[in-house]
Structure 1
Amino acid sequence: MKQLLLHVRPDQTVLALLDNDILSDLFVERAGEEDIVGRVYKGIIKNVVPSLNGMFVDIGIGRNAFLRTRDTLKGGPRTEGSAVLVQVEKDSTETKGPLVTEKISFAGRYAVALFGTSYIGISKKITDENKRNFLRSHAAAICQKGTGLIVRTAAETAGEEDFKKDLASLSRMMDVVTKRAAIEKGPALLYRDGDLAVKSLRDYLTGDVERILVDDKDTWQRLSSMAEEETNISKDRILFYNERESLFKYFHVEEQIHALFERNVPLPSGGSLVIDYTEALTVIDVNSGSFRSKGIPHDQLAFLINKDAAFEIARQIRLRGIGGIIMVDFIDMEKKEEKEKLLHILRSEVRRDHVKTVVLGMTSLGLVEMTRKRTTKRLWQYYYDTCPACGGTGRILSAGAAADRILEDLENRRRSGPFKTDLEIRCQKDVKKVLENSPFKERLAKTALRDVTITEEPNFTRDTYTILSM
């Protein structure tokens, strides 16, 4: 049984998809930090950088976006100061602004509208030629000059009126953006997608999901009203949750979310995953752990654990919002057919992801290479701040090393001549303790040859200090 849980609070909205009570997908939206992916802006090109094969565009959010040359449409000016119509493809990170594209698209339930092309495509999975011709004719009828459509597989079983209604909605959307682009002065926001509550109904309440439970009455009423306008969504599938125990606690979602921040992920077999993040990529290591072979040959044992891991890896990268390059170090296997089976399982599982995920293959070192489109933040970034002491490295300078830096600084200053006044050193409390004890105390006195006062600064980190003349 699949069901959606929509947990709404003033500061955030969280949507969880449960598959037989196991957390299968998770989406977070913070108040004031709405996802900008999919938004359309009229931007102003600030500078073109040929060495980066792209240009920086001011879209009015405080940080310039980056438009790659390969994501531009043919024709039109590409000079500094010119206006450009772009859609956000990837949200900004701590170090980079958002990534944008001129290849704008809007996804409906049954079709995807495309700007800047006259192409009309039908999903290859729709094989009935009469159905394809019917869908193509209706798609062509709504397409304005410079716009195209791709009809999705779901359109094959859609009613005629539902399909027409979806196309009409996409047509209105494109028309609004075109008209606003003509009159707005850039940089300006032209289009924004619905909030997470709207997306839960439009994008995630699919045919295999039995119901959606909502724990906020206003949101429930809003979604119920939307369902009345959609002939393909039953209002009876949208339920208001009003029990004493919180929604996420009752369905054991809270503990499942907390587990997503752990480095080690246990596997049902007794093995485990170890997940480590870097700026450029994510590394996942598969360990055999406490798995007991009970006479099973090593190669069979390795395949059993790796198979177990493949299912969990696809789930973890989806839930944690991991994007970019992913390297997986599976347990070594000798047989080629088992390696191929493992890749097949992994490729099959990542197809469930709403975000494009590609399993590239296995390297000569036995590492599986994957990529997942990076669109929004990683999950931990919604719940945790980067540590001000370690800057996200997980390590801080030892008190002894910090004290040694202070003494080296004093020794360098002393080379310019003896100190003419007494000194005050302001530093973090642990560093102060080290400086006040041997051998640092003797070394400090020998270096300064003056009275030195050491003052604790509560707001200083270990690598922060000042040396003052008194």
Structure 2
Amino acid sequence: MSNELVISSTQKGDRIALLQNKRLLEYHEEELDSSFTVGDLYLGTVKKLSSGLNAAFVDVGHEKDGFLHYQDLGPNINSLNKLVKDVIAKRVTTGRLNQNQLEPVIDKIGKIDKVLTKNAPILVQIVKEPISTKGPRLSCDISIAGRYLVLVPFSDGVNLSKKITDRAERSRLMRLMSSLKPKNFGVIVRTVAQDKDVEELDRDLQHSLAKWDQAIKSLSEAKPRDRILGEMNRASSILRDMLNESFESITVDTRESFDEIRDYIHTIAPDKEKIVKLHTGKTKVFEALGLEKQLKSLFGRSVSLPGGGYLIIEHTEALHVIDVNSGNKSNSEEDQEATAISVNREAAKEIARQLRLRDMGGIIVIDFIDMKKAENKKLLQDIMRDEMKPERSKFTILPLTKFGLMQITRQRVRPEMNIVTREVCPTCGGTGTIQASVLVTDVIENNLDYILTKQNERGISISMNPFLYAYYTKGIYSKQMQWYMKYKTWVKIVKDTSLGIVNFKFFNKSGEEIEVSNNT
């Protein structure tokens, strides 16, 4: 099993693809200066207390106030609130916690209006990004994630990942972390910490403590709604959580990203620094590696299975529904039960991939092909559980119902990833009426002439659909060569399958898009 990470930088942000054995496994789009990311710390203001919900609504700068339930306050909320007030008042200047700063823990089944007051400042962490019409979900149980450890201020215990099963290793890690961690800080040891030496664990702990100190320093000068501590970008967080020996390459397409990722890899895993590569090809990195085609085929309403079956995936506000169909597989097995288990087995593997790829959360209902044998139903549930083991999100799988439905819940912390795979005709706009589509080449050449002669631009490039690309580049005396002879400058043409057949984009020598007219 080999993992690859591909990062493409655009003007709007980064496109991040995680590949496993060359197949797309995760896809993320990260906007520049994105706010309200899971893990971010904000200085909020309590706007409303709801005794019926036993929750508070907190203003953190989003158009919708964040939701903070009593159960998410954490047992040490009084200690956190006291620290926030002391830091804002400049009575405390460091993040290290002494015994005098600790307050009694709150009751597990108490009321929120006994703990918080309206208009009070409060330090909160984003645990679920804004989705649809809802604001962010918040917590006051602050945690700072590192590569091997999670630092928990105001706690004092050491907890180990349940996936670390070796008794001797659990004892070693418990003993090490109990001696390394500062007083009044708790630590959660992650699975990847297994078999790591004390130097690596201590370095990771000190890095998290430094981030906490930086947050306290920022808090002393902060205003309400300010972000106090930002979570690292999505690419770095994927590397932090997943980087291991199975990673074979990390490909980026800008020097800035290359330097940033290489420096981060040097910090967390110096021996893997050489796998970071800079893509310098003429075509875009997603295009060169065939990812654009994978994206278009995997995010549609219908998804094909290798054996001839297919999935139909529908999304609603309340839940996601997946229907499994046998397609042309129905004639290839000896009986209906054999066909059902064969298609269902393939479907389970692809569904586990789709949940992760689209980051589908909440309730997922899967209508598998009906099976009669109880052992086959149990086998299918085991297959689904095994396929979802690598998941980083929390999930629950229920047994098949008598109607052949499987119910899955998957933790939702950010909006679902969705890519439009059905294109409205760029010429008719979906009306079914086509006008002057044959003039697209005239539109391109008129724009080109204006840019080169009126604006005196040089070093420009044009991205276009492969069909248009072939038209302009084919032959020794191609249209591209004719432009060179006419304007005495080379115009670079780039193939881009994400563009419609009569769509095109002009870019200057800095890679910035030039606004042009697409009208004929």
Considering the TM-score relative to the shorter chain, is it more than 0.5?
Answer: yes
Query: For residue 12 of structure 2, what is the aligned residue in structure 1?
Result: 11
Given that 1:110 and 1:166 are in contact with CA atoms closer than 8 Å, whether structure 2 keeps it comes out as yes
- State the distance in 1 between where 2:234 and 2:420 align: 17
Q: Are the aligned partners of 1:271 and 1:289 in contact in 2 as well (CA < 8 Å)?
A: yes
Are residue 59 (structure 1) and residue 60 (structure 2) matched? yes
Q: For 1:296-350, what per-residue CA distance to the aligned partner results, in whole angstroms no more than 9, with x for missing partners?
A: 2211211111111000001111111211111111111111111111111111111
Q: Which residue in the other structure is 1:358 paired with?
A: 396
The 2-side partners of 1:251 and 1:332 are apart by 38
Q: Distance in 1 between matches of 2:204 and 2:417?
A: 32
How far 1:202 sits from its partner (Å)? 2.7
Q: Aligned in 2, Cα 1:367/1:200: closer, same or farther, shift over 3 Å?
A: closer
How far apart are 1:206 and its partner, in Å?
2.6
SS at match of 1:258: helix
Conserved? CA contact 1:214–1:240, under 8 Å: yes
SS of 2:227 mapped into structure 1: strand
3-state SS of 1:316 partner:
helix
Structure 2 equivalent of residue 31 of structure 1: 32
In the TM superposition, what is the alpha-carbon distance from 1:130 to its structure 2 partner? 5.1
- Structure 1 position 170 matched with structure 2 position 171: no
CA distance in 1, matches of 2:345, 2:285: 33
Tell whether the 8 Å contact from 1:73 to 1:116 is kept in structure 2 after alignment: no
Deviation for aligned residue 1:356: 2.1
> Could you tell me which amino acid in structure 2 is paired with residue 285 of structure 1?
D
Instruction: From the superposition, tell whether residues 356 and 129 of structure 1 become closer, same or farther in structure 2 (CA, over 3 Å).
Output: closer
Deviation of residue 90 (structure 1)? 0.8
1:130-141 alignment runs, 5 A limit:
131-141=169-179
Q: Which runs of 5+ in 1 are unaligned?
A: 388-470
Q: How does 1:185-204 map to 2 (within 5 A)?
A: 185-204=223-242
Distance in 1 separating the partners of 2:369 and 2:220:
57
Question: How far apart are 1:263 and its partner, in Å?
Answer: 0.6
Q: CA deviation at 1:17?
A: 1.6
- Note closer, same or farther for the CA distance 1:147–1:374 as it changes in structure 2 (3 Å cut): same
CA drift at 1:16: 1.1
CA contact 1:139–1:167 (8 Å) conserved in 2:
no
Rounded Cα–Cα distance in structure 1 between residues aligned with 2:255 and 2:333: 57
Cα distance in 2, alignment partners of residues 55 and 45 from structure 1: 7
8 Å contact from structure 2 (residues 36, 126) kept in 1: no
Match 1:253 to one of 291, 298, 317? 291
CA shift for structure 1 position 376: 1.5
Number of the residue aligned with 1:288: 326
- Tell me how far apart the structure 2 counterparts of residues 331 and 116 of structure 1 sit (CA, whole Å): 51
Q: 2:189 aligns with which of 151, 157, 163?
A: 151
CA RMSD of aligned residues (A): 2.5
User: Residue 437 of structure 1 aligns with which residue?
Assistant: none
Q: Structure 2 vs 1, CA of residues 177 and 32 (structure 1 numbering), >3 Å: closer, same or farther?
A: closer
- Residue 208, structure 1, aligned to residue 246, structure 2: yes
Q: Which amino acid aligns with 1:123?
A: S
CA distance in 1, matches of 2:134, 2:162: 37
CA distance in 1, matches of 2:74, 2:36: 25
Per-residue CA distance 1:346-402 (angstroms, 9 max, x = gap) = 11111222222221333343211111111112112x7699x9xxxxxxxxxxxxxxx
Contact 2:180 2:202 in 1 (8 A): no
2:244 pairs with 1:243:
no
Query: How far apart in 1 are the matches of 2:333 and 2:52?
Result: 59
CA distance in 2, matches of 1:127, 1:378: 33
For the structure 1 residues 97 and 41, does the alpha-carbon distance in structure 2 shift closer, same or farther, using more than 3 Å as the test?
A: same
- CA contact 1:268–1:308 (8 Å) conserved in 2: yes
Greater Cα shift, 177-186 or 42-51 = 177-186
Instruction: Return the alpha-carbon distance in structure 1 between the equivalents of residues 122 and 147 of structure 2.
Output: 28
Pairwise CA distance, 1:287: 1.1
CA contact (8 A) 1:4 1:205 kept: no
Counterpart of 2:22, as a letter, is D
AA aligned to 1:288 is S
Give, in angstroms, the shift of residue 276 of structure 1: 0.6
Instruction: Return 40-49 or 118-127, whichever deviates more.
Output: 118-127
- State the alpha-carbon separation in 1 of the partners of residues 131 and 165 from structure 2: 42
Show the counterpart of 1:411: none
CA distance in 2, matches of 1:117, 1:383: 45
Shift of 1:21: 1.6
Please list the CA deviations of residues 86-115 of structure 1 after superposition, one character each: whole Å capped at 9, or x if unmatched.
111111122111111122222211111223
Q: Confirm or deny: 8 A CA contact 1:138 1:164 kept in the other structure.
A: no
Instruction: Tell me the equivalent position of 1:417.
Output: none
Between 1:27-36 and 1:309-318, the stretch displaced more is: 27-36
**2:330 touches 2:339 (CA, 8 Å); kept in 1?**
no
How does 1:85-100 map onto structure 2 within 5 Å? 85-100=123-138
Aligned in 2, Cα 1:295/1:367: closer, same or farther, shift over 3 Å?
closer
Structure-1 residue corresponding to 2:49: 48
Does the 8 Å CA contact 2:378/2:399 hold for their aligned counterparts? no
Structure 2 residues not aligned, in runs of 5+: 79-114, 425-520
> Based on CA coordinates, which of the two structures has the bigger radius of gyration?
1
How many residue pairs are counted as aligned between the two chains?
386
Deviates more, 1:133-142 or 1:341-350: 133-142
SS in 2 for 1:45: strand
- Residue pair 2:300, 2:421 contacting (<8 A) in 1 also: no
Q: For residue 374 of structure 2, what is the aligned residue in structure 1? A: 336
